[in-house]
Amino acid sequence: MKINHAGIAAEAVRIAPARGIAGTLRLPGDKSISHRYAMLAAIAEGASRFENFSTGADCASTLACVEALGCAVQREGTRVSIQGLGPELRPPGRALDCGNSGSTMRMLAGILAGQHFESELIGDDSLSRRPMARIMAPLRQMGATIAAADRDRPPLRIRGATPLASIDYVTPVASAQVKSCVLFAALFASGTSTVEEPIRTRDHSELALRAFGAELHRSKARVSLAGGQRLHAIEGGIPGDISSAAYFLCAAALFADSMLVIDDLMLNPTRAQLLDLLTAMGARISVLRVEEHHGELSGSVQIEGGSLRGRQISGPLAAALIDELPVLAAIAPFVRDGIEIRDARELRVKESDRITAVAENLRRMGAAVEELEDGWRIPGEQQLHGGEIDSCGDHRIAMAFAIAALKARGETTIHGADAARISFPEFFDVLDRLAQR
Ligand code: S3P
**Same domain, yes or no, for 43 and 125?**
yes
Pocket probe mutation, ligand 1, options 322, 349, 399, max atoms within 8 Å of Cβ: 322
83 and 212 inside one domain: yes
* E-only strand ranges, 88-190: 96-97, 118-122, 145-150, 153-159, 168-170
- Read off the CATH number of the domain in which 20 is found: 3.65.10.10
> Ligand 1 pocket: which of 177, 182, 343 to mutate (most atoms <8 Å of CB)?
177
The pLDDT, as a whole number, for residue 8 is 42
Domain boundary among 236, 254, 269: 236
Q: What spacing in Å lies between the alpha carbon of 61 and ligand 1's midpoint?
A: 16
**Is there a single domain that holds both residue 184 and residue 319?**
no
> Does one domain contain both 207 and 255?
no
Rounded Cα gap, residues 86 and 101, in angstroms = 24
Same domain, residue pair 214 and 286: no
d(CA 385, CA 411): 8
Separation of CA 341 and ligand 1 centre (Å): 18
Q: Whose CA is nearest to atom 13 of ligand 1?
A: 175
Do 148 and 155 contact (CB within 8 A), yes or no?
yes
Write the residue with the smallest CA distance to atom 9 of ligand 1.
323
Please answer whether residues 49 and 235 qualify as being in contact, where contact means their C-beta atoms are separated by less than 8 angstroms: yes
Q: Largest Cα–Cα distance in the chain? A: 62
Judgement on whether residues 22 and 165 belong to the same structural domain of the protein: no
- Please tell me whether residues 12 and 35 are part of one structural domain: no
Nearest CA to ligand 1 atom 15: 175
* Cα Rg of the chain, angstroms: 21
* Residue 69 and residue 214 share a domain: yes
Q: Is beta strand 118-122 parallel, antiparallel or unpaired with respect to 96-97?
A: parallel
- The secondary structure element, H or E, covering residue 282 is none
Q: What's the gap in Å between 175 CA and the centre of ligand 1?
A: 6
Sequence-distant (6+) residues with CB within 8 A of 289 are 299, 300
CB under 6 Å to ligand 1: residues?
Answer: 32, 103, 175-177, 180, 202, 322-323, 346
Full domain range(s) for residue 93: 31-236
> What is the structure's pLDDT at 11?
84
Residues 196, 86, single domain; the answer is: yes
Q: What is the reported pTM?
A: 0.97
- Among the atoms of ligand 1, which is closest to the Cα of residue 178? 14
- DSSP-derived letter for residue 349 is G
Residue 222 phi/psi, 5° resolution?
A: -110, 135
Q: Ligand 1 mean position to 271 CA, how many Å? A: 11
The pLDDT assigned to 162 comes to 96
* Residue 223 sits in the same domain as residue 253: no
Q: How far is the CA of 1 from the centre of ligand 1 (A)?
A: 33
Please check whether residues 134 and 250 belong to one and the same domain: no
> How many structural domains comprise the chain?
2
Looking at 236, 266, 299, which one is the last position of a domain?
236
Could you write out the DSSP letters of every residue in 192-258?
EEEEE-SS----HHHHHHHHTT--EEEETTEEEEETTPPEE--EEE-PBPHHHHHHHHHHHHHSTT-
Contact 108, 79 (CB under 8 A): no
Domain boundary (180, 203, 236) is at 236
Count other Cβ atoms within 10 Å, centred on residue 190: 15
Same structural domain, 118 and 11? no
Active site residues: 323
Reading the chain (437 residues) residue by residue, the pLDDT tens digits are: 444 444 444 589 999 999 999 999 999 999 999 999 999 999 999 999 999 999 999 999 999 999 999 999 999 999 999 999 999 999 999 999 999 999 999 999 999 999 999 999 999 999 999 999 999 999 999 999 999 988 999 999 999 999 999 999 999 999 999 999 999 999 999 999 999 999 999 999 999 999 999 999 999 899 999 999 999 999 999 999 999 999 999 999 999 999 999 999 999 999 999 999 999 999 999 999 999 999 999 999 999 998 999 999 999 999 999 999 999 999 999 999 999 999 999 999 999 999 999 999 999 999 999 999 999 999 999 999 999 999 999 999 999 999 999 999 999 999 999 999 999 999 999 999 999 99
Smallest CA-to-CA distance from 407 within 377, 378, 436 is with 436
The answer to whether the beta carbons of residues 120 and 157 sit under 8 Å apart is: yes
CA distance 392 to 385: 20
